[in-house]
């Protein structure tokens, strides 16, 4: 019996040693460089407004052959914001509805609702921001809200104004910019402040979160910031379309949230005046060296991101929807007004060159540049002006393939591409179309 007890005790000690070693290894691993993987970062696919922090509307993914309509789903009201896609390809979308849900996540396989919510005024202008776990961050009037992947609220940060589509400001950090000009840098896990709050306008009204919201659509004087920021998390900078209180027009404004003496803080870096004021969001080149912005005079401007020096301007004839897509090698496609031709440009450093122009295409959507030398957009076709999802070559503008959007009219808010090459389109009248290769 004593020998059996001694063997039993030895086995218990051995097991305990293994367990202790395993726990120690796990603790050490959690404190090591692996922390980078658990802090919130952009998810794979199309995780936010503009596809990435720089608003480039670009993906290196090549859309596969055999693409066909997998499902379509109405939202019950008009759609004005772009689609976001999580790491699986599930669709996050907002809509203006009179009752019921105005925030939806649809399953990528079937189009069924994973969850839906009703949030306050202003949410319909925003795209979801999704981390690597598919957890959404979404702004509304008076708050920025963080959800888990199943739609339960993790935290809710009160804001002054309506929080625009959020951006990641490095691992574990979320940048919130509101329509009234409030800046917040938050811990993505627990909403703790990572920098002191800043209000860019003295007339910001905490009691009226919808103040100036109507002016944001047309760029009126009561809206301080009309569009989401473009963020360079490597340099701790972001770029805004900001209109100071009492100013005649908005400017391109560069801001920093860098660490200063052990603490992060917001500081201004430079401002650039655009003729007629700035229209739409800033877009950052993939190397972080150039910031693109549309002027009210119908020209596209390129500025040095470091100091705001003008590099070039290109006359488009109109600012259109004042958004664009840009590839790492400098191919640019600006978004014209509804029915405008497709124009493909190349940034040559000190000027922009027209690569291709398709006068026969009536574009009704922001374009998306993808791998394989392609761009995807939505065009109107035929006497009934039906909408068609269209792939074109960026080398000469030639059409590669066309896919009907059944019963769709009006315009689309953009083309989103998943990590696996599925394609999702939201039509303004209130329907989502999802294409996959099966």
Q: Tokens 């009907």 correspond to what residue?
A: 404
Report angle CA 400, 353, 251 to the nearest 5 degrees.
110
- The rounded distance, in Å, linking the Cα atoms of 26 and 218 is 53
Beta bridge partners of 46: 85
What confidence tier does 31 reach under pLDDT thresholds 50, 70, 90? very low
User: Where do the structural domains in the chain lie, given as residue ranges?
Assistant: 39-437
Contact 346, 355 (CB under 8 A): yes
**What tokens appear for 376 in the block?**
């995807």
pLDDT digits (tens, 9 = 90+) for 359-415: 999 999 999 999 999 999 999 998 888 999 999 999 999 999 999 999 999 999 999
Question: What's the Cα-to-Cα distance from 180 to each of 159, 177, 184, 219, rounded to whole Å?
Answer: 9, 8, 12, 12
- The rounded distance, in Å, linking the Cα atoms of 190 and 431 is 34
pLDDT digits (tens, 9 = 90+) for 111-143: 999 999 999 999 999 999 999 999 999 999 999
Return mean pLDDT, the chain.
93
For residue 27, the SS3 value is helix
- The rounded distance, in Å, linking the Cα atoms of 229 and 278 is 13
What confidence tier does 218 reach under pLDDT thresholds 50, 70, 90? confident
Q: Tokens 């669709």 correspond to what residue?
A: 91
Residue 20 has pLDDT above 70, yes or no: no
Buried-state track 349-380, b at ≥16 Cβ within 10 A, e below 16: eeebeebbebeebbbbbbbbbbeebbbbbbbb
Of the candidates 409, 403, 408, 406, which has an alpha carbon nearest to the alpha carbon of residue 423?
403
Beta bridge partners of 145: 138, 156
- The rounded distance, in Å, linking the Cα atoms of 188 and 202 is 27
DSSP states along 179-248:
TT-EEEEEETTT--BSS--EES-TT--TT-TTTTHHHHHHT-TT-SB-S--EEETTTTEEEEEE--TT-S
Residue 346 has pLDDT above 80, yes or no: yes
Coarse DSSP helix, strand, coil percentages of the chain, rounded to the nearest 5 percent: 10, 45, 45
Report angle CA 185, 207, 245 to the nearest 5 degrees.
70
Report angle CA 284, 286, 291 to the nearest 5 degrees.
25
Residue 220: per-residue pLDDT: 94
pLDDT digits (tens, 9 = 90+) for 234-291: 999 999 999 999 999 999 999 999 999 899 999 999 999 999 999 999 999 999 999 9
pLDDT digits (tens, 9 = 90+) for 318-342: 999 999 999 999 999 999 999 999 9
CATH number of 39-437: 2.130.10.10
Of the candidates 308, 299, 140, which has an alpha carbon nearest to the alpha carbon of residue 237?
308
Q: What is the DSSP letter of 2?
A: H
Region for residue 409 given its phi and psi (left: phi exceeds 0; alpha: psi -120 to 50; beta: otherwise): beta
């Amino acid at each position: 019996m004593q020998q059996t007890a001694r063997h039993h005790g030895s086995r218990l000690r051995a097991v305990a040693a293994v367990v202790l070693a395993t726990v120690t290894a796990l603790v050490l691993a959690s404190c090591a460089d692996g922390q980078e993987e658990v802090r919130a970062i952009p998810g794979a696919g199309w995780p936010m407004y503009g596809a990435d922090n720089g608003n480039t509307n670009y993906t290196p993914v090549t859309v596969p052959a055999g693409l066909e309509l997998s499902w379509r789903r109405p939202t019950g009201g008009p759609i004005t914001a772009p689609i976001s896609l999580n790491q699986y390809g599930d669709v996050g979308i907002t809509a203006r509805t009179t009752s019921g849900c105005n925030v939806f996540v649809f399953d990528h396989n079937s189009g069924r609702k994973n969850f839906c919510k009703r949030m306050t005024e202003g949410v319909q202008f925003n795209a979801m921001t999704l981390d690597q776990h598919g957890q959404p961050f979404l702004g509304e009037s008076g708050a920025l809200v963080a959800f888990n992947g199943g739609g339960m609220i993790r935290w809710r940060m009160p804001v002054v104004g309506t929080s625009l589509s959020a951006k990641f400001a490095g691992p574990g950090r979320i940048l919130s910019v509101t329509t009234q000009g409030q800046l917040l840098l938050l811990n993505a896990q627990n909403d703790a402040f990572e920098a002191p709050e800043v209000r860019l306008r003295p007339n910001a009204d905490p009691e009226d979160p919808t103040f100036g919201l109507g002016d944001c659509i047309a760029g009126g004087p009561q809206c301080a910031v009309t569009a989401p920021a473009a963020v360079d998390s490597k340099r701790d900078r972001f770029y805004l379309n900001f209109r100071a209180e009492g100013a005649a027009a908005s400017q391109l404004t560069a801001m920093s949230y860098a660490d200063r003496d052990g603490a992060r803080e917001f500081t201004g870096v430079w401002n650039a005046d655009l003729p007629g004021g700035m229209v739409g969001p800033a877009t950052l080149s993939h190397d972080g060296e150039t910031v693109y912005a549309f002027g009210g005079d119908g020209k596209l401007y390129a500025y040095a991101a470091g100091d705001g020096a003008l590099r070039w301007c290109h006359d488009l004839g109109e600012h259109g929807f004042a958004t664009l897509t840009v590839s790492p090698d400098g191919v640019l496609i600006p978004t014209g007004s509804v029915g405008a031709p497709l124009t493909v440009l190349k940034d040559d450093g000190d000027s922009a060159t027209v690569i291709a122009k398709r006068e026969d295409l009536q574009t009704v959507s922001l374009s998306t540049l993808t791998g394989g030398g392609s761009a995807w957009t939505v065009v109107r076709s035929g006497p009934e002006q039906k909408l068609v999802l269209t792939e074109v070559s960026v080398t000469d503008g030639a059409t590669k393939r066309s896919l009907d959007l059944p019963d769709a009219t009006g315009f689309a808010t953009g083309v989103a591409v998943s990590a696996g090459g599925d394609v999702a389109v939201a039509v303004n009248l209130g329907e989502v179309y999802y294409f996959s290769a099966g």
